[in-house]
Amino acid sequence: MRLFHSQTEIRQFVSNQRYRDVKIGLIPTMGALHEGHLSLVKMSVEAGDLPVASVFVNPTQFNNPEDLEKYPRNLDQDLKMLESAGCQAVFAPSVEEMYPFVPDLTINFGSLETELEGKFREGHFKGVGLVVSKLFNIVQPDHAYFGQKDLQQYYIIQKLIQQLSFPIQLRMAPIMREAHGLAMSSRNERLSESDRNEAALIYQSLQEAQKELLKSTSDISAVKQRIHELFKTSDRLTLEYFEVISTDDFKPLKKIKNKATTALCIAAEIGQVRLIDNLLLIS
Ligand code: PAF
């Protein structure tokens, strides 16, 4: 596996590989890798790509400087994990390499960036859109792999690809879960064993809601009320939101119009750790 820190070098590497007629798969990450990230690399390997991962803690997507500072960084460990999953090249630039000047370009994603996570993390998706556009231009992949875990981010990237005409096929990897159902996340490291057990309620409530919503008699507001009640039974977990949304715009639905574009999204906090999860209505 090759490691590159400069844009020029990774570009050169990728363009040399193109002569071998291989497809390039890009797996963008911020490091602190877990099995969920590795499943993206494995998907790229299985697709027959040459998998290239990026490891870059992107300052423009953090609205809280303390979170940015505290974000776990362990490149050596990440590199070992990436190599074991079959990754062939890693682009790990410095902040100066990625942003040689303070970027003032912003991309507007409409309600996709202001609903749900957008309400809690102002400017977050603009930062994601900016860094992913840069990574797309630098690596020029054929395929880009993103996890369903960050569902809103996935649809932000879909919009970016469609509206900026990137010649890239976007691929979604299913959520990897711990034994009791908790969605894998770098943040789970900060949870005690008992918090992890308690946090299993997040996935359980999504499953219960999905079952209800698939019934012909389903009523979104009654399901939402039931989920709020469920969370009241936990003295550790605080529900931030539970919404049934359309993946077209991420606006909460009052009635399900198209099951194929309906998703259930949830965010909850436990011991100052914020956790998100989701289920596609038809999954
Ligand atoms: O999902 C992430 O880790 C980040 O938001 C991404 C896509 C790597 C952009 O920095």
- Assess whether pLDDT exceeds 90 at residue 283: no
How confident is the model over 150-176, as a mean pLDDT?
98
**Are 279 and 263 contacting, i.e. CB atoms less than 8 angstroms apart?**
yes
- Ligand 1 atom at minimal distance to the Cα of residue 54: 8
Between 283 and 126, name the one with better pLDDT. 126
**Are 220 and 244 contacting, i.e. CB atoms less than 8 angstroms apart?**
yes
Percent of the chain with pLDDT over 90: 94
Tell me what pLDDT residue 113 has. 98
Each residue of 5-46: pLDDT tens digit? 999 999 999 999 998 889 999 999 999 999 999 999 999 999
Tell me what pLDDT residue 216 has. 82
Q: Is the CB of 28 under 6 A from ligand 1?
A: yes
Each residue of 84-116: pLDDT tens digit? 999 999 999 999 999 999 999 999 999 999 999
Probe target for ligand 1 pocket from 27, 132, 170, 175, with the most ligand atoms within 8 Å of CB: 132
Each residue of 176-234: pLDDT tens digit? 999 999 999 999 988 999 999 999 999 999 999 999 999 988 899 999 999 999 999 99
- Ligand 1 atom at minimal distance to the Cα of residue 57: 10
Q: Is the CB of 247 under 6 A from ligand 1?
A: no
Tell me what pLDDT residue 217 has. 83
Catalytic annotation, residues: 37
Q: Is the CB of 128 under 6 A from ligand 1?
A: yes
Tell me what pLDDT residue 196 has. 94
The CATH number of the structural domain formed by 186-278 is 3.30.1300.10
Q: Is the CB of 29 under 6 A from ligand 1?
A: yes
Tell me what pLDDT residue 21 has. 87
Domain spans in the chain, listed from the N-terminal domain onward: 2-173, 186-278
> Could you give the CA distance from residue 59 to residue 76 in angstroms, rounded to a whole number?
21
> Could you give the CA distance from residue 212 to residue 72 in angstroms, rounded to a whole number?
38
> Could you give the CA distance from residue 81 to residue 84 in angstroms, rounded to a whole number?
5
The CATH number of the structural domain formed by 2-173 is 3.40.50.620
Tell me what pLDDT residue 96 has. 98
Q: Is the CB of 132 under 6 A from ligand 1?
A: yes
Each residue of 46-63: pLDDT tens digit? 999 999 999 999 999 999
